[in-house]
Structure 1
Amino acid sequence: MHRKCFAMVLSLGFFLACTVVSLLTPVGAEAYQVITKTSEEETITQGASLQTVRMKTDGGPLNAYILQADLREPLLKIDTIIGSDGTLNKNQNVTEMARRTRAVAAINGDYFQMMTSGRTIGLAYSGGKLVESPARRNDMYGFGLTIDKAPLIEIFDFAGHVTAANGESFILAGINKPDYLLPSGLSSDEGALNLYNPLWGKTSRGRLSGLTGVVEAVVQDGVVQRVLTDQPGVPIPANGYILQGHGAAAQFILDNLQPGSAVSYTYTVAPGGNNIFAAVGGQALLVEDGQLPAYFTQNITGKHARTAVGVSRDGNNLYLVAVEKYTDPRAGVVSVGMTQEELAQFLISIGVWRAVNLDGGGSTTLVARHLGDFDASLINQPQGSSQRQVPDALGIFSMAPQGTLTGLVVSGPDVLLAGTRGKFTVKGYDQYYNPVRISTDNVDFSVPDGAGNFRGSEFTAAGTGGTVTVTASLGPASGTATVRVIGPEMIAKLAISPEALKIEPGQSVPLSLQVRTYSGETFDLQPADVTWTVDSAVGQIVDGKFTAGQNTITGLITATFQGLTATAPVTVQPPWQEINVDPEEDTSASMDDWVEVLLPRGTTSSPVVLQLSHESNFSDVPEGVYVQGAINLQPAVGKDLILNNPLIVNWLYDEDVLSHCPLIMLYDDVAEKWLEQPARVVIDGSTRTISARVWGFGRLVLADDRRPTPQFKDTTGHWADFSISKLASGGILSGFPDYTFRPGEPVTRAQFAHALAAVLQWPQPQNPPGFKDDIPAWARAAVAKAVSWGVVSGYPDGTYRPEAGITRGEMAVMIDRALTLPVADSRMKFLDADKIPDFAFSAVNRTAGAGILQGSEGYFNPTAGVTRGEMAVALARVLNWWAVHP
């Protein structure tokens, strides 16, 4: 709860604001109303108990935990636990503190500088030794206990002096104090002389932030060893201390504490003085004479986890109280916490006469050793996600000798179904309620006749319902526990989980059976409690695990318990779906009514079997491509199947999910990259389908393309800009390193073949052609594909001439052959039709009729060279035509 105690800037401001408000505002009354309340109490050792209070209030659930210790009990010790090693050097959580020191219970103590040194603000005594002096404030109460266990809840005062060998002395402001604010608003370090001994930690504080002229004197065996100014911290002598001064105190050190000179100090703490045995600092007085005080000296407002220490009117009973504030991520609010006023009222309600507020919020931690346990356990759920490391805690210790076995604590299931088994454990304790180590193997368990039977420590409930008392005995010691047995007459139904199985041959799945009673309770049965049956052709069940057979088959799993049965359908099938392709018929298959694969008649030359399955490996898609679904389509045998025509993949999608640019991509194993497939979107009412033509097999993904559109410096406003951007986005065309596209630059035969192959995604031919001249590596595969599909050919001399330019007439021929365009409805009307070569005449007519190629001002210009801009426009139209003409 650390918007508090002086983590300098923020926390100090909060502290002072709270002080002013609290001095002007009277303490209010209890804010919540209790609707129901339950209380449980257990003894943790002789003279100490733990009470758990659970309330349902008009403000929500509220839990409080009360450690009560009888200060008259001679075998009980109350002491302060300091840090992780008995010093303030390093903090530790309360559970670890209690276990390290063998405390039977503990609760967190003082406020501390959480954001800086981690040291406490108020006083601390442990084992009768002063660990830290009180703060020089008149608004911070503390708790102390004298050697004879007389409790003190007061504002403690400190007075001390340091005396040099020459008789000069200076006021000692504190021992082992961190920086904190004084009521004046000044830092406690300003002008002050402080002492630091090994209980502070390993090294002194050294130079201080925001202050200059800080002087430290290292003292060992009462003699000054050296004097340092504004230096880093130094080791604190084991048999000595460090005097640190600022301002007048620093000057006192420089003037009077020369190395080699003697020095001494004295101090007093009041009230209590040398009689104080244990103490921790705190904050406001919460209860005074069994009533709310007129005002709180400090008040941290709001509902928080809270910690307090209080005493009874006669001073014989000590109360260590923790209030829980916790919200379970799944179950919701467990406890709402309390305001400071509500905490005070609660303390009064349990009999507290005087009490002080300790550190709360995330620091609130209460641990206790349950009866029979050897270590303390966490009792409250901390307000944060885990226990906070704190500088000190109040611990309860048993000083009793080891006694003899007196009683047993029996633990086991609270509820059992008739016919099922439950394991019971036993812990022992002596006459002082301290643990005694025992072996469960030596314990005798018994139940009334007809209630069931024990085998070792495992109880099997009989076939009827009711409450059964389990008795454990070991010598003169005994203990009992009760278990509620649910008979078959109370069982409403059984349910197998999973309720239906779809599994691959040879795979295994664990089964469970749940019982639901007529009252709505549910219980999970152990596999051994259930009789499982399944047809051997479907699989087998061993120890509650179903293992599928090797056949593709359907069947039923049956579970029987107490005369009731439940069934679960099971389907055994491979992870893929087989597609038997008949080349004389259209063949289709769908998966999850989401994606359809269609192979039109003639797609293959002979009957083949394909396997269609889900795909999970798609993490290698390009950045900016967001996958929404993935499949894998492969030939059942081998991967060399050549398609005569592309197959079609139809994929349903939600426009709210694929909101940018839906696409289908195929992974090319040869090129080792994902390739976008030519596709079109079909809209039928609210249904949207993307349909792609695919020339191959492998991994396919449905994705949303959110990659930024490539930008070129020289295409803005150009008539081909849209087509250039579209093809560049799909990876079909690219620009130059200087971020230009150069739309007016001429296109070569190799470049056009490469681009056309990228648009139409032809498969790699089995027998690539050979040419006399060298084709660039980047175009070699594309030229081979174009030649194989009859789109382009070489010259009579056996060359391809990849660097030769391509004319508009030649481009028309290549496109016409690639698309197998239909005869045009009408004859073209280009003004230069008589200039079109015979080899290109029909192709120009068909490409113009299909809207793929157009002229300029009525002329086709068949012999003109093709520019990169013209190629982009033509190929964008090719892509559209190919996608919509399956």
Structure 2
Amino acid sequence: MNKKHFMRGAMSFLLAGALTIQPLTMAVEANDTTYYEKTTQKQVTSGLTYEKKAKLTSRGWVDIHVLKMDLNNPYVDLDILRSTNIFGEKLTVSSMVNQSAKNVAGINASFFNTKENPSDIIGAEYKDGYVVLQNLYNHYDKGVASLIQTEESIFLDFFSGDIRLKNSAGIVMDLYGINKINVQVKPVIFDQKTIKTTAESLRINNSYKMVVVDGVIVDHKMPMENVAIPENGYIISMYKGLYEIYFETFKIGEKVTLNIANSLADNPIKMILSGGGKIIENGSIVEKGTILSKNTNSPRTAVGITQNQDYLIAMVVDGRGQSIGTTHSELGKYLLEYGAYNAIHYDGGGSSSMVARPLGAFTSNLVSKPSDGTERKVVNALGFVTTAPVGNIENIVLVPNKNRTMINQPITFTVVGYDEYYNPVNIDHSNVSFSVDGLRGNWSGMTYVPTISGKGRVFAEYKGKSASTTINAIDGYIGLALGHKVLQIPQNGTGQFSLLATDRDGYKTAIDIKQATYTVEDPSLGQFEGGVFKAGQKVGTTKVTIGLKGIEVTGYIIVGEQKALVTDFENLVPTTMFYPETATGQSVLDKTQLVDPSQKTSVKVDYSFKKAETTQAVYTVFDTNPLIIPSKANSLSLQLYGDNSGLMFRGKIVDSKNVSHLITFTNAIDFTGWKKLTATLPAEVSYPITIERLYVASVNAKADIQGTLYYDMLEKSIPFETSHLEGYDINSLNDPLQENRPTDGKFNVSVFGTTSGRNTLLDEVVMAKTYEVMNQSDLAIYSGFSNVDQSQLKSKTEVWQDQYKVSDYPEVKVIHLSTSKNSLYKTDGAQIKKLEAELSNTDQKHIIIIGNNSPVKTGNFTDKREAELIHSILRDYKEKTGKNIFYINANGYTFGVNYLEGIRYVDMNGLWYNAQGRSLNINNQFYMLNFYMDQNELQYKIENLYTAISTE
């Protein structure tokens, strides 16, 4: 789009005085500290890029999605997207974008009436003669700002309109707007740009209608009289109180004049798309117009324009999930980072969505993460349109379904192509030729099966264009691991472990469970058949040993679950709430339907919902008799007497951190009579939890509905204690760095786990032995929380003290991380950048990192995404340099090595041990990690602090 040449609109707007809106100053919030930032950018089409920026700040993660449009590029344009089926129909942004092959991206736009479908926007739309206009909708600072294109420029400002109809007698009819389908207060104009007949909308057809053709009133129509919208005119829709006035004063045959004025004077307009308030004005963050929840972190959508009008910036910030969202001023800061000089809000919250077409693809995908979990349906979107001609193929991209595989296992490839304007090009895959360098194998169409191990490069060629990628084929594995150490199975149910093979580089690949052997310690609980465990009726726990090619791992199976009654509701006094005003109902104790004759009462819920698209609910509230779950539970179950209504039955719980969670017993009551329903409790809740309410809910009721439900016997499922079952199998990894080689002359580093919390004689005895053994090494490292006697330390010693520290030795670099708050950035925010910088300046080939939480151990880091980030930093550095990296964690009862994507994560228990009764086998409870290294090579050994003694 060339911003200097806009097409003149079909409807001319007359002069009106521009609204004067005084700016409201605001204090910009103190900047959050950014600890980490990563940006990825992809081309969408000529003149349009999509960029994702992930920030880790002092308050959490922020995900920013940006479409950057070159306003000087002639091959990309803007458009207003709506449903092409029914005027005002709400659709997702994805659906709107994919209505046309020319659409390549979009963001949600105007605020809208959420209660109706079809629905109205708040504000104005105008594009090539198509008009939606609301009369004087932005008075002073209460209104909405708009994206506006004229013949001369593109800008962001407030826009207002004034619409009046005047007859020959000088009587004026104030009109609310143009093509506003849900308005009842004032008359509204409808033209052929939106509907062809009033029959397309029940609301319009149910009104009184005045028909105007060529400036003359030609007819008055009563409700339910269908009217064809005249091509050279319009209709005016109004309700009874207005018709009684205006049908008398605006008579059939009378000439009328329609005056449409706006605040842009006589500037020819190409497009208007209203949003909310202003965020940035002339390079400064401001509050003008409609600013919603300015100090609340929410998902938000915005559009900005650079000072020289060279670029348009469309931005969506995710919120209410992994990304914390943004406040008004923070959003302004992010827009300024992208060069926006002026910017406005579009609708936010659950509506915030961004869609973009991947390179080489023919359809567009959702790239943001809406807070509802799925896209919300909206009325309109700001669309990005390609106007480029379709050209010849310019480039191809080769995409494997995976980059690593076992020998004789397939890798399937996809080839996509695009032209010089980044338009997708159809690929005839039968004409794609492949070759492989560095590997031998067999091709079958687009699938390759390597027959030898190693690293290879795959090349694809199509019509003179080529692309390549790297693959790895592994001939075997050095270790086994289970996807989950503990498997819980219902009585008489079935289940299976996922078995993962670890290759020499630490990458794990799923293998066929049927290849393994299984030994069940307590066969009375069930048996394996073809890798699948079939449980019996007995409830309990058993150890399972799984073996394959000489390597064994252990897992545990729990059959059944423990249940406990929470309440039978008999002594409770429930109260009732309902939402919104279209819902009514009552919750009471009742004797009509009982799940068990021995019970006295159940809870009866009468409900009534009106036809509506919005969610409606009748709540049973337990405010006077709180239902509390004091400790961890897997799920809640209750007996529900259904009425086959298809309604939802849900609950709301509040945890100890005052965080609310919704739980679902059923998404559709599709049964009649009593049935037991179960709702899973979120894993992240903090106990104790309070069951605040149980409720029946309707979503998008197609008709009025009413009925009665009963429920009773609320139970909780108590999880079996499994912490003592977790851990590693010491001998399940044949690590090449554990090969037994001579250690003479090597630099010896000994590592022991936590030594704090000693409170028994055995602890002191073991500690004395630890000093004795550790003092024989060249470097002793006490990891985890430590309580050491400095006078006992004879060797060079490193003691972890929960603070960032780096120690350099010729053979090894030792990095201490502070992780006491189960996080790097929450404990010491500068650590992530320090770690990256330290790694980039490391000369040593061997690196030992000491922390008290492992990024790959479930539950160690409160921020799972931060844990993934730390691992990715280490993994990427390993892939780039090939150096040996060990991450030592000492905060639990387990000892073992998890070799993951090149990084060896070691859990050390130190003096933490599990005693069975009054006995303890000290040989298999206290371990040390010994490294033997020079500047080039390293080997490590897991060694017992106490050597086993045989009496034979």
Give the structure 2 partner of residue 237 of structure 1: 229
1:493 partner letter: L
Residue 60 of structure 1 and its aligned partner are, at CA, apart by 1.1
Residue 621 of structure 1 and its aligned partner are, at CA, apart by 7.7
Query: Would you say 1:277 and 2:235 are equivalent positions?
Result: no
Give the structure 1 partner of residue 157 of structure 2: 154
Residue 516 of structure 1 and its aligned partner are, at CA, apart by 4.1
Structure 1 residues 510 and 478: alpha-carbon distance in aligned structure 2, compared to 1, 3 A threshold: farther
Q: In the aligned structure 2, how far is the partner of 1:236 from the partner of 1:59?
A: 57
Give the structure 1 partner of residue 888 of structure 2: none
Structure 1 residues 526 and 31: alpha-carbon distance in aligned structure 2, compared to 1, 3 A threshold: farther
Give the structure 1 partner of residue 90 of structure 2: 91
Give the structure 2 partner of residue 132 of structure 1: 133
Give the structure 2 partner of residue 320 of structure 1: 314
Query: Would you say 1:174 and 2:177 are equivalent positions?
Result: yes
Contact 2:438 2:454 in 1 (8 A): no
Structure 1 residues 116 and 238: alpha-carbon distance in aligned structure 2, compared to 1, 3 A threshold: same
Deviation digits for residues 114-157 of structure 1, max 9, x if unmatched?
12463111111234532334624233343334365831211112
2:509 to 480, 505, 523: 523
Structure 1 residues 348 and 232: alpha-carbon distance in aligned structure 2, compared to 1, 3 A threshold: farther
Structure 1 residues 431 and 623: alpha-carbon distance in aligned structure 2, compared to 1, 3 A threshold: farther
Matches for 1:298-309 after TM superposition, within 5 Å:
298-301=291-294, 302-309=296-303
2:146 to 134, 138, 143: 143
Q: CA RMSD, aligned part only? A: 4.8
1:163 to 161, 166, 169: 166
Q: In the aligned structure 2, how far is the partner of 1:42 from the partner of 1:454?
A: 31
Contact 2:479 2:503 in 1 (8 A): yes
Residue 95 of structure 1 and its aligned partner are, at CA, apart by 0.6
- The range that moved more, 415-424 or 279-288, is 415-424
TM-score by length of 2: 0.48
Q: In the aligned structure 2, how far is the partner of 1:367 from the partner of 1:41?
A: 14
Q: In the aligned structure 2, how far is the partner of 1:145 from the partner of 1:471?
A: 48
SS of match in other structure, 1:95: helix
1:427 to 402, 416, 423: 416
Residue 389 of structure 1 and its aligned partner are, at CA, apart by 1.3
Matches for 1:788-867 after TM superposition, within 5 Å:
none
Q: In the aligned structure 1, how far is the partner of 2:561 from the partner of 2:187?
A: 80
SS of match in other structure, 1:325: coil
Residue 34 of structure 1 and its aligned partner are, at CA, apart by 1.3
Give the structure 2 partner of residue 477 of structure 1: 465
Matches for 1:710-721 after TM superposition, within 5 Å:
none
Structure 1 residues 295 and 156: alpha-carbon distance in aligned structure 2, compared to 1, 3 A threshold: closer
Q: In the aligned structure 2, how far is the partner of 1:364 from the partner of 1:31?
A: 24
Structure 1 residues 30 and 401: alpha-carbon distance in aligned structure 2, compared to 1, 3 A threshold: farther
Query: Would you say 1:492 and 2:479 are equivalent positions?
Result: yes
Structure 1 residues 495 and 83: alpha-carbon distance in aligned structure 2, compared to 1, 3 A threshold: closer
Give the structure 1 partner of residue 108 of structure 2: 108
Give the structure 2 partner of residue 668 of structure 1: none
Structure 1 residues 204 and 516: alpha-carbon distance in aligned structure 2, compared to 1, 3 A threshold: same
Residue-pair matches, total: 530
Q: In the aligned structure 2, how far is the partner of 1:206 from the partner of 1:32?
A: 51
Residue 224 of structure 1 and its aligned partner are, at CA, apart by 2.9
Deviation digits for residues 428-449 of structure 1, max 9, x if unmatched?
2111111111133332233332
Q: In the aligned structure 2, how far is the partner of 1:270 from the partner of 1:133?
A: 13
Matches for 1:367-406 after TM superposition, within 5 Å:
367-406=355-394
1:243 partner letter: I
Contact 1:79 1:396 in 2 (8 A): yes
Q: In the aligned structure 1, how far is the partner of 2:51 from the partner of 2:274?
A: 24
Contact 1:372 1:433 in 2 (8 A): yes
Residue 110 of structure 1 and its aligned partner are, at CA, apart by 0.6
1:176 partner letter: N
2:252 to 252, 259, 273: 259
Contact 1:203 1:233 in 2 (8 A): no
Deviation digits for residues 733-775 of structure 1, max 9, x if unmatched?
xxxxxxxxxxxxxxxxxxxxxxxxxxxxxxxxxxxxxxxxxxx
Q: In the aligned structure 1, how far is the partner of 2:554 from the partner of 2:361?
A: 45
Contact 2:279 2:288 in 1 (8 A): no
Contact 2:298 2:320 in 1 (8 A): no
Give the structure 2 partner of residue 440 of structure 1: 429
2:426 partner letter: R
SS of match in other structure, 1:336: coil
1:514 to 478, 487, 500: 500
Contact 1:290 1:354 in 2 (8 A): yes
Give unpaired runs (5+ residues) of structure 1. 1-21, 181-188, 209-213, 328-333, 549-555, 576-590, 595-618, 627-655, 658-886
Deviation digits for residues 592-613 of structure 1, max 9, x if unmatched?
999xxxxxxxxxxxxxxxxxxx
Q: In the aligned structure 1, how far is the partner of 2:490 from the partner of 2:158?
A: 73
Structure 1 residues 149 and 390: alpha-carbon distance in aligned structure 2, compared to 1, 3 A threshold: farther
Q: Going by fraction, where is helix more abundant, 1 or 2? A: 1
Residue 534 of structure 1 and its aligned partner are, at CA, apart by 9.6
Structure 1 residues 566 and 247: alpha-carbon distance in aligned structure 2, compared to 1, 3 A threshold: closer
Matches for 1:668-747 after TM superposition, within 5 Å:
none
Give the structure 1 partner of residue 881 of structure 2: none
Residue 481 of structure 1 and its aligned partner are, at CA, apart by 3.5
Q: In the aligned structure 2, how far is the partner of 1:465 from the partner of 1:277?
A: 60
Matches for 1:204-219 after TM superposition, within 5 Å:
216-219=209-212
Structure 1 residues 509 and 439: alpha-carbon distance in aligned structure 2, compared to 1, 3 A threshold: farther
Query: Would you say 1:52 and 2:52 are equivalent positions?
Result: yes
Give unpaired runs (5+ residues) of structure 2. 1-21, 520-525, 536-543, 564-593, 602-629, 632-952
Contact 2:528 2:534 in 1 (8 A): yes
Matches for 1:518-667 after TM superposition, within 5 Å:
522-525=508-511, 560=548, 624=599
Structure 1 residues 85 and 620: alpha-carbon distance in aligned structure 2, compared to 1, 3 A threshold: closer
Structure 1 residues 248 and 546: alpha-carbon distance in aligned structure 2, compared to 1, 3 A threshold: closer
Residue 63 of structure 1 and its aligned partner are, at CA, apart by 0.4
TM-score by length of 1: 0.52
Contact 1:310 1:353 in 2 (8 A): yes
Query: Would you say 1:74 and 2:66 are equivalent positions?
Result: no
Q: In the aligned structure 1, how far is the partner of 2:125 from the partner of 2:278?
A: 17
Identical-pair percentage: 23
Q: Going by fraction, where is strand more abundant, 1 or 2? A: 2
Q: In the aligned structure 1, how far is the partner of 2:192 from the partner of 2:251?
A: 22
Structure 1 residues 539 and 169: alpha-carbon distance in aligned structure 2, compared to 1, 3 A threshold: closer
Based on CA coordinates, which of the two structures has the bigger radius of gyration? 1
Residue 464 of structure 1 and its aligned partner are, at CA, apart by 5.0
SS of match in other structure, 2:340: coil
1:492 partner letter: G
Give the structure 1 partner of residue 805 of structure 2: none
Residue 76 of structure 1 and its aligned partner are, at CA, apart by 1.2
Residue 96 of structure 1 and its aligned partner are, at CA, apart by 0.5
Residue 177 of structure 1 and its aligned partner are, at CA, apart by 3.8
Contact 1:174 1:195 in 2 (8 A): yes
Structure 1 residues 498 and 294: alpha-carbon distance in aligned structure 2, compared to 1, 3 A threshold: closer
1:159 partner letter: D
Residue 170 of structure 1 and its aligned partner are, at CA, apart by 4.3
Q: In the aligned structure 1, how far is the partner of 2:46 from the partner of 2:598?
A: 68
Q: In the aligned structure 2, how far is the partner of 1:308 from the partner of 1:592?
A: 49
Q: In the aligned structure 1, how far is the partner of 2:152 from the partner of 2:39?
A: 28
Contact 2:181 2:204 in 1 (8 A): no
